[in-house]
Structure 1
Amino acid sequence: MKNLQGRVALVTGAGSGIGRSDALVLAERGATVLVNDFDPRAADETAAQIGEAGGCAVPCVADVGDAAAIAAAIDAAQRQAGAIDILVNNAGISGRQQAFDAIADADLARMFQVHVMGAWYCTRAVLPGMKDRGRGKIINTSSILGMAGRRRSAHYAGAKAALIGLTKAWAKEFAEWNIQVNAVAPGRVRTPILGAFADSEEYQRDLLANVPLRRRAEPEEVAWLVAFLASDESDYITGQIISPNGGEVV
């Protein structure tokens, strides 16, 4: 299925995890993918995997939280690959679980700088072109923590909740130019971010007690949803928060 043939997609944080799966699936569906990551090696690895699978990818290396750097990287990538039709604001950091009064101001600021301001800067960079062409897709990666919260994660949950607010506001504001804005809010996904803790008895007990489907999602299961939201098949869907979470939050 090549329903994204001829489209150009920018995926931020595409060097690993969900972002890498998003990039691979969008390329598989025919899009040229601009692979963003702050780590050049990670971006190159994802781009190489896309090339090996017969797709087209261009590395786009910058920290999304650095306004000048990400704007310059996006401009350079668009000059090489073409105007961006699809933006996936996926870049994020996890942060340690900490009580509210133990979270340092610097950690809180960095959390919002990457998740919220990163999405803001990237959207600001691609929006003029989308307006000129009268179409576009913006997909933000939030989290079930942005929907339901969690103790000892106020900084992360707050940043992810802010993305939900941006999604709804942008959907209403950008609809005039036929730009659809949605968010995915994954639950537990099998990515390296949890490390060995995901294999611990404590984590497994918690998963079985709280996730009706009794497993974590594979990254591709999130990426398939992203690919749908990036396609013409979702043209009447905007401002929605779709949560692949195995029934943990309903």
Structure 2
Amino acid sequence: MRSILITGGNGGLGLGIGRYFLEKQDDAQVWLGVRSNRGAATALADEFDGRCRLVDLEVTSREAWEAAVSTMTEAHGRLDVLVNNAGMHRDALLATMDDDAWHSVVSSNLDSVFFGCRAVIPTMMRQRFGRIVNIASLSAILPPLGQTNYAAAKAGVVALTQTLAKEVARAGITVNAVLPGYIETEALAPMDEEAAKQAKRGIPMRRFGQPAEVAAAVAFLACQDAGYVTGSALKIDGGIF
């Protein structure tokens, strides 16, 4: 049995990662960390009854993280995999960006990873095993206009990942990041047809990625056999960078 926590479990990418684990690994016990908008997450839990559950999780709250980890360890006695996937973006040029747009994006994308990693490390150290996969973004290394807040936060996730990987390596814990580019989720919903065509022209593969393609990379980094892979930042972008 493998106990897996995925934050942002109500979004397209979080649901895709959760489904991948559930379909590909019979021993996976998946917990979807959610705060609101539970419909799709509840549907996945119903589909995989007994193997997929929801857990209340406000990812920017230390207390919420401690409660979620406690719930999981009481149920399974362990916590094997954390996928820090929750996040948001509020794009604007820096000159016109208000304070709340800065702080909310940095908090949801970077503070959440700090709180999450810190919450699971004690359990993973006692186990002498753990896999942490942090979902960053291609914006961390190839930032577009209007994303100073989001790009800074995701670059921080990569740096946090690489530093933490060194701190916990001897305890049998790996920490890696994946950097998705354009992925077919609700994040692309505001993009009109012409903007989508233009974006695809900038991708050597000439298409957007699928959540399952990100999930496959996450599952590899989370598996037993990836024990010598840590501190990596794997881009999944169709060749953009």
Does residue 70 of structure 1 match 2:62? no
1:227 aligns with 2:224: no
Matched to 1:86, the amino acid is V
State how 1:20-59 maps to structure 2 within 5 Å. 20-28=15-23, 29=25, 30-39=27-36, 41-42=38-39, 45-53=40-48, 56-59=51-54
1:15 aligns with 2:6: no
| Divergent runs of 4+, >3 A | none
Matched residue SS, 1:185? strand
Q: Distance in 2 between matches of 1:115 and 1:49?
A: 24
Corresponding position: 1:205 with 2:204:
no
Residue 175 of structure 1 is matched in structure 2 by: 169
In the alignment, structure 1 residue 114 sits paired with structure 2 residue 114: no
1:98 is aligned to 2:92: yes
Question: Does the aligned pair in 2 maintain the 1:146–1:160 contact within 8 Å?
Answer: yes
Judge conservation of contact 1:58–1:81 (CA < 8 Å) in 2: no
Please state whether the residue corresponding to 1:25 is helix, strand or coil. helix
**Deviation, structure 1 residue 196:** 4.0
**SS at 1:243's partner residue?**
strand
Identity percentage of aligned residues: 31
Distance 2:30 2:77 in 1: 10
d(CA) in 2 for partners of 1:25 and 1:81?
20
Aligned with 1:246: secondary structure? Answer: coil
Note the alpha carbon deviations across 1:102-151, whole angstroms, 9 max, x for none.
11111111111111111111111111011011111000000000011111
Q: Normalized against structure 1, the TM-score is what?
A: 0.91
- Provide the alpha-carbon RMSD of the alignment: 1.5
2:156 aligned with 1:159: no
CA gap of 1:82–1:24, structure 2 versus 1, over 3 A, is farther
CA offsets per residue over residues 20-73 of structure 1, 9 Å max, x none?
A: 11111112213101110111624xx32542442466012111210122123223
Q: TM-score when scaled to structure 2? A: 0.94
